[in-house]
């Protein structure tokens, strides 16, 4: 198995990093542009593996897409697809699975939507049940409630639906993305405790960029009125805040300074709240709205805290690593969705922190970390890009951190290791 070893810099980090475009915004924009009338241009795109999978599938469905360096041109079809019969495999791309489950209901023909072995364990029943309410014909091929699924697509109708939002905000986003092309519009009633509301904000923000108005009734109901049309647009994808958090966390544990460029300080991305957490732990945060950068200077005496990560679950592992270096007990709550990600992230974090000499406790949706003095260890990534990237943070402070499966970062941040080296952390490959 491929492994890399990280060696901390000899002194304090002082680095500037340009972050790539947001995968979440890019994937939403790809669907919106595909359903638009005319040709849209997306710039600053993510080049993650998940994004490339979604582009490949959209091309198979007949959407005209051309890529030129950091820009994509998409010829939208207004929601009118040519017939397609066949299997579409999205691998481990969770957003692609959820978004395409809804989108393929618009495509005439018979589509089998499948993914990796882990994807076959990730629930999709609430989204499927809601789409059936709209008239979609969807059946499970192996296990009830999980991919692979068979979709007999074409015209779907109906307007009022109800969905449980406690598992994934991506279910709501998938519905919102197809709402504008439904003949009667769409009204979504929410049940259960909403999670990751910031991702809904990102979806609504993107819809506005493409000319669609969504009424948000306090996250309990969303309404898209009929006779709205996606408009072609030139859309710049802002930088990925989730990815930026790894580098701000490097500064936090190292005690140095990292400036991240290509960041919108007024973003709708919920992970921007991670900066407030770092401030509470003792870090200094400086930002420039005009020039789009945010800088963090770390603190060698990081303080433990209690933090609810409901709105930024993808940064929970990042916080867990910072907390391992803090004084006291850090309690991280709002983690219910972490158990159904690429791996059970709560269990995975506990397992690997134990290797580093850090004691933890956990429940269904919380994690307690006893801060201390972590030591080097060989870290398993569990096929999870966020496990590899979050534990790399420790390499800014302590020697002996080795990461297995380093290539998993391609899922969301293909040049992560190159960016890490720009901070002065040295990487040696194939050390197993």
Q: Considering only CA atoms, which of 317, 426, 407 is closest in space to residue 362? A: 317
Its pTM stands at: 0.91
Q: Which of 271, 314, 380, 384 is catalytic?
A: 314
**Which residues, 6 or more positions from 383, have their beta carbon under 8 angstroms from its beta carbon?**
92, 118, 342, 343, 405, 408
pLDDT in tens, 228-276: 999 999 999 999 999 999 999 999 999 999 999 999 999 999 999 999 9
Give the pLDDT confidence score for residue 431 in this predicted structure. 52
The CA distance from 338 to 348, in Å, is 10
Task: Indicate the fold that domain 3-20+239-429 takes in CATH.
Answer: UDP-n-acetylglucosamine1-carboxyvinyl-transferase; Chain (3.65.10)
Q: Considering only CA atoms, which of 30, 31, 32 is closest in space to residue 47? A: 30
pLDDT in tens, 280-320: 999 999 999 999 999 999 998 999 999 999 989 999 999 99
The answer to whether 415 is a known catalytic residue is no
> Do strands 360-362 and 366-370 pair parallel, antiparallel, or not at all (unpaired)?
antiparallel
Is there a contact between 145 and 132 (Cβ–Cβ < 8 Å)?
no
The CATH class for the domain spanning 23-225 reads alpha beta
The CA distance from 161 to 365, in Å, is 28
Is there a contact between 285 and 431 (Cβ–Cβ < 8 Å)?
no
Tell me whether domains 3-20+239-429 and 23-225 share a fold.
yes
- Give φ, ψ of 256 to 5 degrees: -95, -160
The CA distance from 382 to 92, in Å, is 13
Report the percentage of the chain scoring pLDDT > 90. Answer: 88
What are the structural domain ranges in the chain?
3-20+239-429, 23-225
Specify the residue for token string 């020039």: 291
Weakly modelled stretches of the chain, pLDDT under 70: 1, 431-432
Query: Please, what is the Cα angle at 201 between 288 and 184, to 5 degrees?
Result: 145
């Amino acid at each position: 198995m491929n492994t890399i070893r990280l060696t901390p810099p000899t002194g304090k980090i002082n680095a500037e990093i340009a972050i790539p475009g947001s995968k979440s915004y890019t994937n939403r924009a790809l669907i919106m542009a595909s359903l638009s009338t005319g040709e849209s241009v997306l710039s600053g795109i993510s080049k993650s593996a998940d994004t490339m999978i979604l582009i490949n599938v959209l091309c198979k469905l007949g959407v005209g897409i051309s890529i030129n360096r950091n820009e994509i041109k998409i010829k939208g079809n207004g929601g009118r697809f040519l017939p397609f019969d066949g299997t579409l495999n999205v691998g481990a791309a969770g957003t692609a699975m959820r978004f395409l489950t809804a989108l393929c209901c618009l495509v005439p023909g018979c589509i089998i939507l499948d993914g990796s072995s882990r994807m076959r364990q990730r629930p999709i029943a609430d989204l499927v049940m809601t789409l059936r309410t709209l008239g979609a014909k969807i059946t499970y091929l192996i296990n009830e409630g999980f991919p692979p699924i068979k979709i007999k697509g074409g015209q779907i109708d109906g307007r009022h639906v109800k969905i449980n939002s406690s598992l994934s905000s991506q279910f709501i986003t998938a519905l919102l993305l197809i709402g504008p092309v439904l003949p009667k519009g769409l009204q979504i009633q929410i049940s259960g405790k909403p999670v990751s509301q910031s991702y809904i904000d990102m979806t609504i923000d993107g819809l506005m960029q493409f000319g669609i108005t969504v009424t948000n009734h306090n996250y309990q109901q969303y309404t898209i009125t009929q006779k709205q049309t996606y408009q072609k647009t030139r859309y710049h994808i802002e930088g990925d805040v989730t990815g930026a958090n790894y580098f701000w966390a490097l500064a936090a544990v190292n005690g140095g300074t990292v400036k991240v460029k290509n960041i919108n300080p007024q973003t709708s991305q919920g992970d921007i709240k991670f900066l407030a957490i770092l401030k509470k732990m003792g870090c200094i945060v400086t930002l420039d709205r005009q020039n789009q950068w945010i800088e963090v200077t770390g603190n060698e005496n990081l303080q433990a805290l209690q933090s609810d990560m409901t709105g930024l679950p993808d940064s929970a592992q990042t916080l867990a690593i910072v907390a391992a270096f803090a004084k006291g007990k850090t309690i991280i709550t709002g983690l219910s969705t972490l158990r159904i990600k690429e791996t059970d992230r709560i269990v995975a974090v506990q397992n690997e922190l134990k290797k580093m000499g850090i004691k933890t406790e956990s429940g269904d949706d919380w994690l307690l970390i006893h801060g201390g003095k972590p030591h080097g260890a060989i870290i398993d990534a569990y096929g999870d890009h966020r496990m590899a990237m979050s534990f790399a943070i420790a390499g800014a402070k302590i020697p002996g951190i080795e990461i297995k499966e380093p290539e998993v970062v391609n899922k969301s941040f293909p040049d992560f290791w190159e960016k890490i080296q720009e901070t002065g952390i040295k990487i040696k490959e194939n050390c197993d």
